[in-house]
């Protein structure tokens, strides 16, 4: 039976640790936890790990040149691209980075709904390109995190002008870079499903990609195809998120493990997100999961993924049966390992 594990305990955005403890205790994903001080006899092993785990109030170190232009893609539809865009985007904003999320799913836009910003989208990129409004009028600033802005390409059900494509998006990214208030740290592009024109448009300005997949064979085949297309487009920095993971099904050998997925796709793992009914609730409320208090497992997993994205870090998947027997603090720290 296999579960993933974090490569680095220090990577965890532990602002949520304390409030999350009781939640973890009641969940079968992880070893039951209690937040107790270290016993002196456990010192030799735990000192460094505890130290790194308690670096929770540090800000992650932003790696790479800004703005980081990241496309969230998958190939297969409905695997969680928009959910990932909303949650990673807001996590990054909570970590104090400026973020612009572009909904490039033109025909079936719904990032605005997930973010609860649907009533505030008055202008879109099409109006900007037509000269009907300025770029800053089309940017919708989130009231909860003012360093997060949403940009929609077009109104729902409206047709794109012929000729709208990758070049228009590259122009848009350049325009965002040269804004008066400064370039954002992250531009995150929510890609449509499939590999046709919408996909090509969405990936054109990106220099890195997050590939979202679910642990099923159809999603994996599409993810593999998309990986090849991204590489052909010159995007070499591709990391994956395995979404909707169910340990009960993995244990029953009814679902591929995250390690299996990683071995099949051969991509660095940015995060593994459990199946969580709260995702659906938060989607319907327009209140992304990562804002929930106390956080849920999926919310924490998204936060961790955002943290790794900032530092261009990744995590490892390991077999559950390989996990050593461990004491309290080891459980505490390793409980964030999948």
Ligand X SMILES: Nc1ncnc2c1ncn2[C@@H]1O[C@H](COP(=O)(O)OP(=O)(O)OP(=O)(O)O)[C@@H](O)[C@H]1O
- Residue 307 φ then ψ, to 5°: -60, -45
Number of residues that bind ligand X (CB under 6 A): 20
Near ligand X by CB under 6 A: residue from 11, 73, 82, 98: 82
The token pair at 95 is 């970590």
Which residues, numbered 189-218, are part of the site for ligand X (CB under 6 A)?
193
Question: CA-to-CA distance for 168 and 172, rounded, in angstroms?
Answer: 6
Q: Which stretch binds ligand X (CB under 6 A): 39-47, 74-82, 164-172, 315-323?
A: 74-82
Site for Mg ion in 76-115 (CB under 5 A): 81-82
How many CB atoms within 10 Å of residue 137? Answer: 12
| Binding segment toward ligand X, per CB under 6 A, in 11-19, 75-83, 199-207, 220-228 | 75-83
| In contact, 50 and 329? CB cutoff 8 Å | yes
Work out how close the CB of 72 gets to Mg ion at its nearest, in angstroms, rounded to a whole number. 9
Rounded alpha-carbon distances, angstroms, from residue 174 to 134, 151, 233, 305: 14, 14, 19, 26
Q: Least CB distance from residue 276 to ligand X, whole Å?
A: 4
Select from 13, 60, 67, 80 the one that contacts ligand X (CB under 6 A): 80
Measured from the CB atom, the residue of 108 and 175 that comes closer to ligand X is 108
Give least dist CB 105 to Mg ion, A.
Answer: 5
Residues contacting residue 81 through CB under 8 Å, at least 6 positions apart: 72, 73, 74, 105, 190, 191, 193, 212
To the nearest whole angstrom, how small is the minimum distance from the Cβ of residue 294 to ligand X? 17
Specify the residue, 18 or 281, whose C-beta has the smaller distance to Mg ion: 281
Q: Which does 79 bind (CB under 5 to 8 A by kind): ligand X, Mg ion, none?
A: ligand X
* Least separation in angstroms between CB 267 and ligand X: 17
Which one of residues 142, 276, 303, 313 is an interface residue with ligand X (CB under 6 A)?
276
- Per DSSP, helices labelled H in the chain are 17-25, 43-53, 81-94, 111-114, 125-130, 135-138, 166-177, 197-203, 217-232, 247-251, 258-265, 277-285, 297-311, 328-334
Residues found near Mg ion in the complex (CB under 5 A): 81-82
């Amino acid at each position: 039976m296999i579960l993933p594990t974090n490569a680095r305990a220090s990577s965890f955005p532990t602002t949520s640790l304390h409030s999350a403890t009781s939640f973890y205790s009641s969940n079968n994903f992880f070893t039951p936890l209690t937040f107790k001080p270290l016993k002196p006899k456990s010192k030799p092993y735990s000192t460094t790990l505890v130290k790194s785990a308690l670096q929770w109030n540090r800000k992650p170190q932003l790696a790479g040149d800004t703005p980081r232009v990241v496309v969230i893609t998958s190939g297969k539809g409905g695997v969680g691209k928009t959910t990932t865009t909303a949650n990673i985007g807001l996590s990054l904003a909570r970590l104090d980075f400026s973020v612009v999320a572009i909904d490039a799913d033109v025909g079936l836009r719904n990032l605005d709904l997930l973010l609860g910003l649907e009533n505030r989208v008055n202008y879109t990129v099409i109006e900007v390109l037509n000269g009907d409004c300025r770029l800053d009028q089309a940017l919708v600033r989130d009231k909860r995190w003012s360093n997060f802005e949403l940009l929609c390409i077009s109104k729902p059900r409206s047709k794109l002008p012929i000729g709208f494509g990758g070049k228009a998006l590259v122009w848009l990214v350049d325009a965002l870079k040269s804004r008066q208030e400064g370039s954002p740290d992250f531009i995150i592009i929510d890609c449509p499903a499939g590999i046709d024109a919408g996909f090509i448009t969405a990936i054109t300005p990106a220099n890195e990609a997050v590939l979202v997949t679910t642990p099923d064979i159809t999603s994996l085949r599409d993810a593999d195809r998309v990986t090849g297309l991204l590489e052909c487009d010159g995007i070499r920095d591709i990391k994956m998120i395995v979404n909707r993971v169910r340990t009960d099904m993995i244990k029953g050998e009814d679902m591929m493990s995250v390690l299996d997925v990683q071995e099949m796709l051969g991509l660095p793992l940015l995060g593994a997100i459990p199946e969580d009914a709260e995702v659906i609730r938060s989607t319907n409320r327009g209140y992304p999961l990562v804002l929930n208090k106390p956080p849920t497992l999926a919310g924490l997993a998204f936060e961790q993924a955002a943290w790794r994205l900032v530092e261009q870090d990744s995590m490892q998947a390991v077999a559950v049966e390989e996990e050593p027997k461990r004491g309290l603090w080891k459980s505490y720290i390793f409980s964030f390992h999948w």
